């Protein structure tokens, strides 16, 4: 079963993290949060955005980036950034890879990106747009990674019900 990992480096907005948590639950994806967070995990806003799914989320919190690396040795990490030289569709997302996103106001720190240039990916945008919303960016890249893994373990068909309208 393909398992993917979303990593949020110092997220600042609870509603974004809540939305991302809900997306992770819906896709069977693990969520990793690197502190400092711009909010408390007990805040109503994060639970409201994640709705009643937050209790089902596989989430791990780390004190900093170094602790994240120590606890996930050998992890294949893709760094989502507007500074990436390749698009997210240019790479092959392996089972159990990690896709990291930075905080809303500044992205992933430049010193981290410089050490991992070959794993930096971007979502194409028009030049004068600074960035997309964090939760939208996560959904775009995560669903491409899931598509590449044939949506393993996910329900692929819905069911229509024949309703007679009067």
**Which position has the token pair 């639950």?**
25
In whole angstroms, give the CA distance from residue 93 to residue 5: 11
Average predicted confidence (pLDDT) for the chain: 90
Query: What is the H or E stretch that residue 81 is in?
Result: none
What residue segments make up the domains of the chain, in order of their start?
5-148
Query: Can you state the percent helix, strand and coil of the chain, rounding each to 5?
Result: 35, 15, 50
- Which runs of E-coded beta strand occur in the chain? 5-9, 30-34, 59-62, 77-80, 86-87, 98-101, 120-122
At 51-107, the pLDDT tens digits run 678 789 999 999 999 999 999 999 999 999 999 999 999 999 998 999 999 999 999
**What CATH code would you report for 5-148?**
3.40.1280.10
- Put simply, whether the predicted model's pTM sits higher than 0.85 gets the answer yes
Residue 166 has pLDDT above 60, yes or no: no
Q: Which residues are annotated as a binding site?
A: 102, 123, 131
Binding residues for S-adenosyl-L-methionine: 102, 123, 131
């Amino acid at each position: 079963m393909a398992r993917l990992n979303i990593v949020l480096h110092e997220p600042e907005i609870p509603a974004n993290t809540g939305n991302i948590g809900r997306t992770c639950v819906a896709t069977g994806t693990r969520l990793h949060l690197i502190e400092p967070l711009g909010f408390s995990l007990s805040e109503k806003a994060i639970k409201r955005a994640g709705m009643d799914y937050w209790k089902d989320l596989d989430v791990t919190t780390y004190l900093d980036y170094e602790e994240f690396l120590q606890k996930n040795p050998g992890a294949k990490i893709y760094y989502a950034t507007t500074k990436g030289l390749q698009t997210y569709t240019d790479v092959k997302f392996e089972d159990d890879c990690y896709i990291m996103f930075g905080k809303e106001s500044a992205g992933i720190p430049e010193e981290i990106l410089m050490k991992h240039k070959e794993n930096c990916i971007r979502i194409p945008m028009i030049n004068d747009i600074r960035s997309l919303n964090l939760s939208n960016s996560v959904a775009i890249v995560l669903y491409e990674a899931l598509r590449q893994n044939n949506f393993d373990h996910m329900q692929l068909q819905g069911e229509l019900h024949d309703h007679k309208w009067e």
